[in-house]
Amino acid sequence: MKETDRLLFNKAVFNRPDDSNKGTLGSLLCICGSYGMAGAAIMAGKAALRCGIGLLKIAVPKSIYPVCATNILESVYYPLEETSNGVISSKNTDFLLEMCEKSSAVVIGCGLSVCDDTKNLVQSVITNCEKPLVIDADALNCICNKPEILKNLKAPAIITPHPGEMARLLHSTPKTVNSNRENTAINFAKKFGVVTVLKGAGTIIASPDGEVYINHTGNSGMATGGSGDVLSGIIGSLLAQGASPINAAAAGVFLHGTIGDLAAEKLGKISMLPTDMIDMIPTAYLKLI
């Protein structure tokens, strides 16, 4: 097992020639958010932008579009039909699959909510999308009763579960997951053919072909709601810009921990926020590249 480091991070960063334009720097579609969970979509989107994506596209329920658009001016938005509970309706599935194919990569799950509509949407994206995927949070919760659907992927995918989400996928417990983190991530990656990022202190990143990394950046100040959304945006951005799934995942985790350490150094572990981490991304890039 290898450790994530600065060299690995640089391997995943897209070269930006002087004649670059937004069309050559990748496009990322984020299918995220629900009523009451606008922040998840905002944090994932802001993190993706700070990591250099050429074009960000965010698909959210209509009800939270004004909040998102006020907080991220640089994104293209797809305000979607929603259920009575403010969740993306499965009626949008065909449209979203079309938008997936017009993107370089897709992030799905941050703040999505779990209901019949989102379960149907997530399953459709997993089985039909032909662009690389980052599957996080509620998208994982949407398939916890049938994780074998991951074997039907048409494109490479990265999953980013915390121990609770991994436990649900395995019908186990967080304690059991944490008792053997390395083998849990390795075995899941091999069985289901997805790059697996098992989050927590000493995040494990495992690929289906047996490549494994452990990350030692980061601190307990990151243990707050929203940190995972930031990570999904970072990984999705690197993936959309051309990094391989394992490099995007491992480098994204390394960067995520680095910005957490920078935020803790400036603000302290108790008071730092995920949004403070996003603000540290430019400093981290200047430091690491």
Predicted confidence (pLDDT) per residue in 98-111, tens digit? 999 999 999 999 99
224-276 pLDDT, tens digit each: 999 999 999 999 999 999 999 999 999 999 999 999 999 999 999 999 999 99
**Is 70 marked within a binding site?**
no
pTM: 0.98
70-99 pLDDT, tens digit each: 999 999 999 999 999 999 999 999 999 999
**Is 201 marked within a binding site?**
yes
**Is 203 marked within a binding site?**
yes
Counted residue by residue, the chain has a size of 289
Look at residue 74 in the predicted model and tell me its pLDDT: 98
- Per residue in 255-278, is it b (16+ CB within 10 Å) or e — as a string? bbbbbbbbbbeebebeebbbbbbb
Flag whether pLDDT at 16 surpasses 90.
no
**Is 162 marked within a binding site?**
yes
Which is nearest to 202 in space by CA: 187, 172, 224, 180? 180
- Per residue in 144-171, is it b (16+ CB within 10 Å) or e — as a string? beebeebeebeebbbbbbbbebbbbbbe
For residues 196-219, average pLDDT:
98
Report, in angstroms and rounded to the nearest whole number, the Rg of the chain calculated over CA atoms.
17
**Is 226 marked within a binding site?**
no
Phi-psi bin for 120: left (phi > 0), alpha (psi -120 to 50), beta? alpha
**Is 263 marked within a binding site?**
no
25-52 pLDDT, tens digit each: 999 999 999 999 999 999 999 999 999 9
**Is 36 marked within a binding site?**
no
Name the band, by pLDDT with cuts 50, 70 and 90, for residue 15.
confident
Distance (Å, whole) CA 110 – CA 247: 21
Consecutive H or E run containing 204: strand 204-206
109-158 pLDDT, tens digit each: 999 999 999 999 999 999 999 999 999 999 999 999 999 999 999 999 99
**Is 202 marked within a binding site?**
yes
